Amino acid sequence: MIELKFCPVCKSSNNLTIYAKKQCNFDNNPSNPETLASNAILKYLIQRDHITINTMRCSNCGHLFLSPTFSPDEIRKMYSSESYKLFAELKKTYENKTKQKWEQIVAGNNWDEKKKESLLKRPEIIKDVLNRYATWYRKKILDLGGASGHNLTSFKKESQLFVMDLRESEEKNEDIVYFRDYDSLSKNAPFDIIISTHTFEHIVDLDQEMKNISNILKKGSHVYIEVPCDSFSIIAKKKPRNIYPHINFFTRNSLENLFLLNGFKTKFLSLQLMPYNEQRVFAYIALFEYVDNKMRHLKRNTFFNFVKDGLFIVKNKYFNKNKTITYKLNR
């Protein structure tokens, strides 16, 4: 594990405070299957029985993140075949014990319907956001952390499609070219569109990631990004989150600041209840255009944004019992 002495988004070291602290004991036997898996994989990664983790807050850009966090070697272990094999074993053991499918325990009896809807809806949402807010060419589209490439199904036969993921997907599509690292991927640059869903919250070195992305884009290229809104519950309850698997907890402002500081301008940013496998999660979805003009004037956190996002979450929890996806497609 490594201590982060500066903010992953703005690199500030003078504006950090410990927002919440938690003692993690990995030998506990929680009833929640996700926590069970997290504990086992964490112990496998860091070879320790317990650790105290801090949820840090940067007052300069509004970002929340965990420290200590994973080292580069531990990140590689996290995405290794051994780690996924351990998860599969835990899943099988838990299913045998409970006589239920893992997904059913996590997401309820209608998990299969939700998963099928997710596979259909997210590609449509991504394409709709691009059609609404970007003047773009459909020549080369890359999905970062895209696994088998489900996000790209709406663009088949109209674009060149690429996926880069640290883990090699067991499912592959003949219409997609797959890569495991930026070195091999860069030979196909520049890309017109980059898509990244539920990936940035896992990245320790955001600065290097943004440099890698900028190197494979050109002016006028767009990045569509989706990250979970974990930050609201942390701020509202001042409760820390487990260290695995999320490291970064983006606020509306810190997500925008990350891209402003790296040469992008904001085209669209919204909080929505979005499809995520067999679940529904509150997530920020955004579209940024690469202009190669780094802004140093950061967006500050405002009480208005906090209240607005909070009201959206509360309204959905009370009046959207079926967890209907809130983003409306342009018909």
Q: Indicate if 32 and 132 belong to the same structural domain.
A: no
In a domain, 10, yes or no: no
pLDDT in tens, 241-300: 666 678 899 999 999 999 999 999 999 999 999 998 888 999 999 999 999 877 777 877
Task: Quote the mean pLDDT of the chain.
Answer: 86
- Chain centroid, CA 40 distance in Å: 21
User: How many whole angstroms separate alpha carbon 226 and alpha carbon 224?
Assistant: 7
Q: Indicate if 220 and 288 belong to the same structural domain.
A: yes
Q: What pLDDT shows up at residue 45? A: 76
Q: What pLDDT shows up at residue 34? A: 67
Least confident of 60-69, 74-83, 138-147: 74-83
pLDDT in tens, 3-49: 999 999 999 999 999 988 877 766 655 556 666 677 777 777 777 77
In a domain, 182, yes or no: yes
Q: Indicate if 249 and 289 belong to the same structural domain.
A: yes
The residue from 77, 104, 131 where one domain ends is 104
Q: Indicate if 223 and 310 belong to the same structural domain.
A: yes
Q: Indicate if 77 and 126 belong to the same structural domain.
A: no
pLDDT in tens, 43-77: 777 777 777 888 999 999 989 999 988 887 887 77
pLDDT band at 315 (very low <50, low <70, confident <90, very high): very high
Domain count, the chain: 2
Q: Indicate if 204 and 308 belong to the same structural domain.
A: yes
Least confident of 109-113, 242-246, 249-253, 317-321: 242-246
Q: Indicate if 123 and 52 belong to the same structural domain.
A: no
The residue from 79, 104, 129 where one domain ends is 104
Residue range 72-88: average pLDDT? Answer: 79
In a domain, 242, yes or no: yes
237 has a pLDDT exceeding 80: no
Q: What pLDDT shows up at residue 242? A: 61
User: How many whole angstroms separate alpha carbon 248 and alpha carbon 230?
Assistant: 9
Q: Indicate if 158 and 301 belong to the same structural domain.
A: yes
In a domain, 35, yes or no: yes
The string of DSSP letters for 211-226 reads HHHHHTEEEEEEEEEE
In a domain, 325, yes or no: no
The whole model's pTM is what? 0.90
Q: Which domain holds residue 153?
A: 111-319
Q: Indicate if 117 and 90 belong to the same structural domain.
A: no
240 has a pLDDT exceeding 70: no
Q: Indicate if 180 and 280 belong to the same structural domain.
A: yes
Burial-class residue 57 by CB neighbours within 10 Å (0-12, 13-18, 19+).
buried
Q: Indicate if 87 and 145 belong to the same structural domain.
A: no
Q: Indicate if 203 and 311 belong to the same structural domain.
A: yes
- Element holding 206 (H helix, E strand): helix 206-215
